[in-house]
Chains A and B, each alone.
Chain A
């Protein structure tokens, strides 16, 4: 894919995509053009962000049944499980994971998704959970379908699940997308390809037979590694200030 790639990146340029990636058209008028200003991390960024989400239930992590209809979503039932950690492998317990995805036919419930793929009345495509003490998470859902978009002629997004991670430290905030390995659309997708080549595979889940449950659901494993100093840095900062 030949495209103009901008030089402005926040974080490690070997990991994070540049803001300007011409092949993804929406970056053209939204990418900053002036250099980011490098500043030290302070308590403002290291403090744990507390988003009021109310009490989470097990149903919040079951996208096959959380539409409130009493019915079950159609599609291949899958389990997506993994661990959220920092770069040193320390788990991130209590991280809020929020996921959203298209249904098995590739259609979102969103009011602005209007391509002629069928909606599933029993599927919202929204879930959330907190990681446990080991940083582990687990969602039950259906495998999302691919869908067309207007970026270029005959453009289709590969099947993916959006992940938002609110970690112990706000400086570790991450929003990303998880993909499936057997998808021929991956190499054609400018959003995935905006990630430096050496880091792209990190967004692709692995089939995990030990996560698969007999007579129930196929298992996929996807671990998330957060950049930068976590809650331990905040504690160190507090101690140095004390």
Chain B
């Protein structure tokens, strides 16, 4: 069968909030089945080092799926249960991570990235992270921030362009 012509992507533009983020939320909660909790904070940053105030993140992990926006300074925050390890393929486990899609005015197609955790022992041997050039892996690993609260706080910025540019993925089809 000949493949049908695929529909191209376009930017979300600046006017998506009322539709995609009905409560205009810049912080979100994900998963509440009583697992270990964590907070994640960060900013989406452009090539001038400025916050991106009109970005949308979609975050997926073992506890569910959530969409959140950035505020006027490009900040986002997420409270979630700690993700579990998931299989890459038979016999290979991935380290706990959040899968993230980034949308913004000026992004002609969304960007896929991931967020790992620095104090998680399996992060270092994660099979996906090992496909990333070593010098760039830190752009995908959230740092544990000193915090008085009982729930651990992690920080990671998503840098669209320039110094410390975040690693973004393109996907191959799954191996048969």
Contacts and interface: CB of A to CB of B under 8 A. Distances in A.
Interface in B83-141: 86-90, 94, 97, 99, 101, 103-112, 114, 128, 131-133, 136
Interface stretch (B33-41, B144-152, B162-170): B162-170
Nearest to A195: B8
Nearest to B50: A29
A36 B108 contact: no
Interface string B56-83: 0010110011110000000000000000
Contacts of B3: 87-88
Contacts of A24: 11, 106, 108
A74 interface: no
Contact of B172 (A21, A39, A87): A39
Interface string A73-90: 000000000000111110
Contacts, number: 248
A241 B89 contact: yes
B90 A45 contact: no
Contacts of B128: 39-40, 42
Given A49-B65, A173-B110, A240-B90, A89 B4 contact: yes
Contacts of A140: none
A40 B86 CA distance: 14
A37 B15 contact: no
Nearest to A25: B106
A97 B7 CA distance: 14
Q: Interface residue tally of chain B, by bracket?
A: 35 or more
Contact of B86 (A44, A98, A233): A44
Q: Is chain B's interface secondary structure helix, strand, loop, or mixed overall?
A: loop
A156 interface: no
A132 interface: no
Interface of A: 9-12, 15-19, 21, 24, 26-34, 36-47, 49-51, 85-89, 98-100, 102, 108-110, 112-113, 124-126, 128, 162, 164, 170-171, 173-177, 191-192, 194-196, 199-200, 202-203, 223-229, 233, 236-237, 240-241
A191 B10 contact: yes
A170 B60 contact: yes
Contact of A30 (B14, B18, B65, B104): B104
A3 to B, nearest CB: 13
Contacts of A19: 107-109
B14 A110 contact: yes
Given A30-B47, A225-B4, A173 B172 contact: no
A113 B6 contact: no
B173 A17 contact: no
B10 to A, nearest CB: 4
A50 B65 contact: yes
A177 B173 contact: no
A12 B6 contact: yes
Contacts of A12: 6
Question: Which 6 pairs show the lowest CB-CB distances between chains A and B?
Answer: A26-B106, A100-B19, A30-B106, A29-B47, A17-B108, A177-B10
21 contacts: A24-B108, A26-B11, A29-B50, A30-B160, A31-B108, A37-B168, A39-B128, A39-B169, A39-B171, A40-B175, A41-B173, A100-B15, A100-B18, A100-B19, A100-B20, A170-B60, A174-B9, A202-B7, A203-B8, A225-B6, A241-B87
A124 B18 contact: yes
A34 B135 CA distance: 13
B52 A30 contact: yes
A9 B112 CA distance: 12
Given A176-B8, A191-B10, A240-B90, A44 B61 contact: yes
